[in-house]
Amino acid sequence: MTTPDKSFPVSWEQFHRDARALAWRLAGLRSEWKAIVCITRGGLVPAAIIARELGTRLIETVCIASYHDYDTQGELQVLKDISPVLREEDGEGILIVDDLTDTGKTAALVRAMLPKAHFATVYAKPKGRPLVDTFITEVSQDTWIFFPWDLGLTFQAPIAKGSAG
């Protein structure tokens, strides 16, 4: 994997705080969501946190592969579709959750499946931002977010020594 120009490492604690902040914003929009549809794999962790905070018990997944080598985004593949019951009424009252909207390709695909659903992500980049309804933090398009589930504890060189993050 090539090192990105800019990186944004996110700790478990920070991600939990950001996902709870997202839940806080979503709580003010509806008294109850029919279900959460999380986009796997990245949407699994924030969906669990948001479901707990909002008291939502029905969690569905839509499984889409886009990053095939953790370096470049490839052709989208729907590995598992959303249940037909949740697709009724075009997703009205459904909350879609993902960790990040990057280019917006995955978001556009899921939006087409559930056009009336509310789409929420923890992080958003400019290209994908118009496709989501609610997010917490925007990062530049050339920034790679290192999520806690992708990190190990290792030495990080200081920024002044040429390190990207």
Is 99 part of the annotated catalytic residue set?
yes
Task: Scan for tokens 């509310």, then name that residue.
Answer: 118
With CA atoms as reference, report the closest residue to 136 among 59, 39, 50.
50
18 labeled binding residue: no
Clarify whether 69 is annotated catalytic: no
Do β-strands 94-101 and 35-40 pair in parallel, antiparallel, or remain unpaired? parallel
142 is in an annotated binding site: no
Asked whether residue 152 is marked as a ligand-binding residue, the answer is no
Q: For residues 133 and 153, what is the distance between their CA atoms, to the nearest angstrom?
A: 34
Does 42 count as an annotated binding residue?
Answer: yes
Active site residue 98: yes
Name the residue type at position 74.
G
Bridging pattern class, strands 73-80 and 134-138: unpaired
Check 5, 18, 71, 102 and give the catalytic one. Answer: 102
For residue 106, say whether it is annotated as part of any ligand binding site. yes
The DSSP bridge pattern shows strands 59-67 and 35-40 to be parallel
Which of the following is catalytic: 98, 133, 142, 150? 98
Residue 55, marked binder: no
Q: Is 133 annotated as a binding residue?
A: no
Report the binding-site residues for xanthine: 102, 145
Report the binding-site residues: 41-42, 98-106, 144-145
Report the binding-site residues for Mg(2+): 99
Report the binding-site residues for GMP: 102-106, 144-145
Residues with a catalytic annotation lie at: 98-99, 102
